[in-house]
Amino acid sequence: MRSGWATSRVQKSRGDSLATSDNFHDEYAFASIWTPAYAPMSLTQNLPLQSTRCAVLEARVRKATVEDIGGLERVINQHWRVNIDHNHELRNRDAVLLIAETTGRQARIVGTGLMWITRWNKTGYLVELAVDKVVQRMGIGKRLISEFSKYARHHRLRGIIVETQPDNADGMDFYLANGFRLCGINDRYYTNSPKSSHDIAIFFSLDLDTPGVATAQNKGGKRGRTNRRRNG
């Protein structure tokens, strides 16, 4: 991982630190680049694009089962402390939990991802994405993104959103290389302690060309959502 893109948790919880790359370069100066004062065009011009290709590892991606929880959490714990109940996510009808595993007799989990689905706006939110450090830059992350995209298209979602932070240069490089685009910045997204540095949430979107999907605005927008809450 440290020589490749930073497989990162994309949803930050209180008290956790984000896994970042050791080969972060000072010339990017993200502490000053990623501020609300900069327009999206200026931000995009300063994004790192230094991906290098390595050998592709033969692996398959499938939905996780209860038996996979230990293996996928082993991968996640290489990068951050597990803070999601994956057993619950397996039962969550609005969640998709995937794993990537090597082929052969001794299959080993080498990657995992979790996507939450919001139905009112037909969007997937990539909450977790982690690849075993030993096999990073070997196509595992790309395969997981591809499978999430297939799932999203099959269920007629408009796109997939992922959130990361300014210090995750390799993560942003990875998402841009896999078709995501910068779609927003929120400097009030996290509950920042006065004693800590002020974290900024950076959002990327993978827009899917899904025919026949109407937006919330076309269906009545906020008023429609309010009516559903009242009637529920």
CATH of the domain at 62: 3.40.630.30
Report the amino acid identity of residue 229.
Answer: R
Number of domains observed in the structure of the chain: 1
pLDDT of 204 > 70? The answer is: yes
Inside any domain, residue 152: yes
Q: Report the pLDDT value the prediction gives residue 187, as an integer from 0 to 100.
A: 87
| % residues pLDDT > 70 (the chain) | 64
Inside any domain, residue 155: yes
Inside any domain, residue 53: yes
Nearest-angstrom CA–CA distance, 17 and 123: 26
Nearest-angstrom CA–CA distance, 78 and 198: 25
Per DSSP, the three-state class of 223 is helix
**C-alpha closest to that of 213 among 113, 80, 124, 98:** 124
Domain that holds residue 126: 26-231
The larger pLDDT score, comparing residue 192 to residue 123, is at: 123
Inside any domain, residue 210: yes
- pTM value > 0.75: no
Q: Report the pLDDT value the prediction gives residue 190, as an integer from 0 to 100.
A: 84
The mean pLDDT value for 176-182 works out to 97
Inside any domain, residue 18: no
Inside any domain, residue 65: yes
Inside any domain, residue 6: no
Nearest-angstrom CA–CA distance, 124 and 162: 9
**C-alpha closest to that of 61 among 147, 155, 134, 128:** 147
- Cα–chain-centroid distance for residue 147? 13
Inside any domain, residue 213: yes
